[in-house]
């Protein structure tokens, strides 16, 4: 089934694709040479049986080390990743960016709807599912109604959806503009506002962060998500989720410049299913009550709201 997703076999009948791939394997076998002692003078990484064994040879330096770490976290076991924004926050309601505000009554309503979805559609099928949030109150509160029952899995006790809080999942730091609305930023510092609007990817808030900075910050999160065998629910912030979505949905988000413009509305959960040649996504709205403006909408900006 995995090979049927190869771009080479697009629009090809399944039986024809299988036959062609068997021919490929026979051709590969005729010329295949395994890395071993004769190749010790070169730098290489060899994986055996889908990552059951990983052999590193002459791997030195930061970048080769990161590549080795990444390869060791890869596997071919199907998994699901659920991405959702926190519920509507008090700062959303007043259209301020950043901060560490709590949820509004509407945001708490979404927290309840999210918990119901998790209990009925995730934990019921996958008791070992995991919960990740940022360290900010609005994401923690959004996951607060999800149960953490202790169950027995493979003969051992397991705490379902035990919360794990990551600083790396915190929203893009808005620096000196933290706590302001975009209308205030445009009025008080129109030059900075114009610079950000011109290049949202590379723009760095004064004393804050840019999307490129957050790409680096999320490196650990990406490695951990690749490593997981169990479903993971990530409750985070729009800027963060745009990057994670762009990484997994590379067949849709073609360029990294597109990441800051990915739409990630409130009250919605995106169910990602990575596979060998891409990733599928199903978006579900869990709360149909209109929240009003989701806050942080930029005046006259063509791109979606928030960071």
Which sequence positions are flagged as catalytic?
85-86, 92, 138, 171, 237
User: What residues contact 29, with CB distance under 8 A and at least 6 apart?
Assistant: none
Question: Residue 168: how many CA atoms within 13 Å on its side-chain side?
Answer: 16
Cβ-in-10-Å burial (0-12, 13-18, 19+) of 243 comes to buried
User: What residues contact 278, with CB distance under 8 A and at least 6 apart?
Assistant: 5, 250, 251
Sign of CA dihedral 108, 112, 113, 117: positive
Residue ranges of E strands in 63-211: 81-85, 130-134, 150-153, 156-159, 163-166
Q: Are 296 and 92 in contact (CB under 8 A)?
A: yes
**Rounded distance, CA 169 to CA 172, Å?**
9
Q: Are 102 and 305 in contact (CB under 8 A)?
A: no
135 is written with which tokens? 């360290």
Q: Can you list the alpha helix ranges (DSSP code H) found in the chain?
A: 14-31, 62-73, 90-93, 105-117, 137-142, 182-188, 190-198, 211-217, 219-227, 238-248
């Amino acid at each position: 089934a995995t090979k049927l997703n190869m771009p080479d076999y697009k629009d090809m009948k399944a039986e024809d694709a299988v036959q062609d791939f068997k021919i490929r394997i026979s051709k590969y076998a005729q010329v295949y040479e395994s890395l071993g002692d004769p190749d010790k003078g070169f730098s290489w990484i060899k994986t055996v049986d889908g990552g059951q064994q990983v052999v590193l040879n002459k791997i030195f330096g930061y970048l080769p080390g990161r590549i080795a770490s990444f390869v060791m976290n890869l596997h071919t076991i199907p998994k699901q990743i659920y991405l959702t924004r926190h519920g509507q926050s008090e700062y959303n309601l007043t259209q301020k960016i950043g901060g560490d505000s709590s949820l509004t009554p509407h945001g708490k309503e979404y927290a309840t709807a999210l918990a119901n979805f998790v209990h009925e559609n995730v934990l019921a099928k996958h008791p070992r599912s995991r919960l990740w949030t940022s360290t900010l109150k609005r994401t923690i509160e959004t996951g607060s109604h999800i149960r953490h029952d202790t169950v027995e899995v493979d003969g051992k006790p397991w705490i379902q959806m035990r919360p794990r809080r990551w600083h790396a999942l915190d929203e893009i730091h808005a620096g000196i503009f933290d706590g302001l609305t975009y209308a205030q930023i445009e009025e008080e510092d129109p030059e900075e506002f114009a610079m950000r609007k011109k290049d949202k990817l590379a723009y760095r808030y004064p004393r804050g962060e840019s999307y490129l900075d957050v790409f680096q910050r999320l490196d650990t999160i990406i490695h951990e998500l690749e490593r997981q065998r169990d479903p993971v629910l990530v409750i985070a912030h729009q800027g963060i989720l745009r990057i994670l979505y762009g990484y997994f949905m590379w067949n849709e988000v073609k360029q990294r410049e597109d990441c800051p413009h990915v739409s990630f509305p409130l009250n919605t959960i995106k169910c990602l299913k990575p596979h060998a040649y891409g990733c599928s996504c199903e978006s579900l709205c869990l709360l149909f009550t209109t929240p009003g403006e989701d806050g942080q909408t930029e005046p006259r900006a063509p791109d979606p709201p928030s960071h």
